[in-house]
Structure 1
Amino acid sequence: MNKKNVAVISGLVALGLGGGWFGYQSTLYKSGTVVAINQQKVKLTGLSKQQAKKALNATQQTYKVKVNDRQTTKTVTVRVQPKLTDSDLKKIKNGQTSAITVGIPTTQTIVNQLQKAKLASKTNQPKNARLVRTSTNYTVKGGQTGGSVNYQQTAQRIITAIKQNKTNQISVKAAYQTPKITKTAMQAKANQLNKMIAQNLTVTVNNKTYTVPTTVKAQAVKQNGKINKNPLANWVTYSLSVKTGSYNHKIKFKTHNKKTITLTNTTAESGIGQYVPAKTTAQKLATALTTGQQLNVAAKLTGKKYEQNFNGTYIELDLTHQHAYMYKKGKLVVSWPFISGKKSVGHATITGVYHILYKDRTTATHKVHLRGGTADTAYDSVVNYWLPWQSSGYGIHDASWQKISNFGKASVNSQVGSHGCINTNPTIMKKVYEEATVGMQVVSYGTLGQSL
């Protein structure tokens, strides 16, 4: 190898070594590179990337967190070892050496510190929001936050503040245990129910339209969104039927002595009167409320119209004179004296219009057993014939314990009056029982009676 070639090779080697040195030097941080981390300054001059990462990660971060409790303010110290990424180091090398926040503490780390601080002394539990039904709608009550601190949520607030502020001085408000059912969620449910109640719901009977009151709809709409049909059925029976039919209407009745009297309570128990069928109409109304469709419901009157003196077939109980009359198609078939309920002690027989519910009598395996109640065993009696004409226990039956001479005498009612039933002489009761039919109207009136 001649001297010329040796000189060329030596120059290339020197150039290579020089280039490698300068390349190495370029990977080091420039003179004066200082990073402020957690209010501490770390010099990185002449350090490699790995050396810089090690130096920075050795700097423990300390966060002073002021937690504002309802009762007091406490400072919680949270320490975290930083972990810088290559991206962080690249920013630093490019001259972005302002204060940086790295190594965000975990939620559990902060929770541990908060629990040690024992923020709140109150421990009352949160109260769930609940629906309260008024006469016209649903309102929301409750939904109160409890007194116990929600450490998980408070820790999340601290982490958010650290990320946003990039400083070790943090101030947050403590989060508290919230109810499982909030006012917001419950209000949405209330709005849904109130929307159902606000629908214009009507019933058309005989070409006339009647509006279901808001109070009735509010009673019908349940908290789960389903419909309670009872309030709707009651409105149909006690309001709509009264307006459109003949229930509770006054009727004229001619007594056995040709005197015309006015009877007022032609109710369902009378078996007389036209009415809107409650069950089927209430079902239609419930469907309309639920679906929001066909909010006008059509209904027809049903039942029997009142014909003068029930077309001549009925039992007339004259309580004033303690005497009964049974007519069939206008013909008197049985007439008998009786003893009614003892008015002096509050057991007066009820007045009004009713009908025979069923017929029953003693058999070899069955006894009709009338009981006046545990406090009045004097009316604990077994009878042979029983004709009930009102659902709570009023009826006509034989009374073998009564003196024959007392039947039909109003003057002895205060001494021998019944518990409310029509006591009848056993010798007459057999014919009364045979002539009576289920559904036959019963009219009760007079001074020794009481309205139901």
Structure 2
Amino acid sequence: MTKNNHWLRWVLIGLGILIVGGGLFAWQYGQTHFAPKTTIDGKSVAGLTANQATQKLAASSSTITNRVYLNGKLLVTGKSQTVSSVTKTQVKDALKKHHGLFASSSKSSAVALTNSDKVVTYRNNTLKKQVTQALKTYNKTATAAHPTYYYLKNGSIKTQAAAKGNQVTVTKALASYDNQVKQLKDIKLKTSSSTATQSETAAAKAVKQNLKDSLTKTLIYHVGGKNYTLKGSDYIVNTQPGKTPTVDLTALEAKLTKINDSDSTQGKSFSVKLLNSGKTITTNNTTASNYGWSLNVKSEAKMLADKFINASVKSNTKVDMKNYSGQNISYNRSSAIGSTRVEINLSTLHEYIYVNGKLKENIPVMSGTLSGSDKTPTGLFHILYKQSPSTLTGKNDNGSAYASKVSYWEPLTEDGVGMHDSSWQPSKVYGNTSYRSTYHSHGCLNNPPSKMKSVWENTSTTEPVIIYK
């Protein structure tokens, strides 16, 4: 072996001894010292031995203030608590799990010893409830994040830029709180500016589309046999940012009132050209004259307003009258009284049945009196319903009760005036006014039994009936 090789061998041996010795030293050091970023009861013991950590913990303050901060500002001040000094035995036990020369991760290792259980329990219960309520209270005055908002102003769609907010997501803040409970020092919560959620953004875009659709939407309002074009642009009014379209109910009600005044038939007198004579008469509008309909303007306006702002209702949708008072008849006719009707002349005691303007029957009848308690009312009526057979009941003039069986019954008024067959009447009385004083009905239109079946077959419920003198 040369002299140089001999020297190199001793250098390598020396380096080996140093490496082994250094490793043994590092291992021994790691076994007897706390790992970096280790805390006990909120106090750093990183790199300290059990004795050193015990001395530090004994010398530090044992009072826990239980203060909670939000973004650097005091949020809640809890009650102060005292933590008794930990023992050397407790520290040694902690060292067994948290020793090491190097940090195993970037996260800190917080150790809570048994002496801090009361503090942790208080923080997990009483203090946490206070913090939860304080966060909710904070959010009431904090600014909420919102997406780009759209709204209507003077007939045009405007935008309001998106904004970040400083409201707190309570669940996230409490999760951060939970992570700091065992550190036994002031709890510091931090939140970044919040932004609108995807659902909020989608909702804002839906509002914009709904505004567009409502402004351009047209409803075809069908009432009184006529079609009225209602445009959304006439009734959609200014809205608040992010809010759904709003309908000017006052303007819509004014439009419906105008339609009602011109087209409704309930309680109105009509000039009617009789089909049987060509003569024009004026019907009355007494309480008994029950023919027709009248719009319930407020309810109808609300119904139409809902359709203007309902995204599922497409433009040019046909909307029939829905809210009305009176009988739902004739609203789809082009005139107040169609050519399918019954005309009854009390002066001649004749009843005329028409279907689509064609005379089906010209029937002599007997009526009630022209005045008094048994009179037949004049005016414009409609057939309430049809019943076959039926039993008519009531009181005679002398107070006695009657129950008359008929084959066909078509009432015209709620108090019992109608058209029916009358088998008890002599055939000579029908169409003969001279017998009315003796053979008059209680107000009904008595039809010959041989003719009433044809009346039944050629008339229908809601059909107009004109009774005149």
The answer to whether TM tops 0.5 is no
- TM-score normalised per structure 2: 0.42
- TM-score normalised per structure 1: 0.43
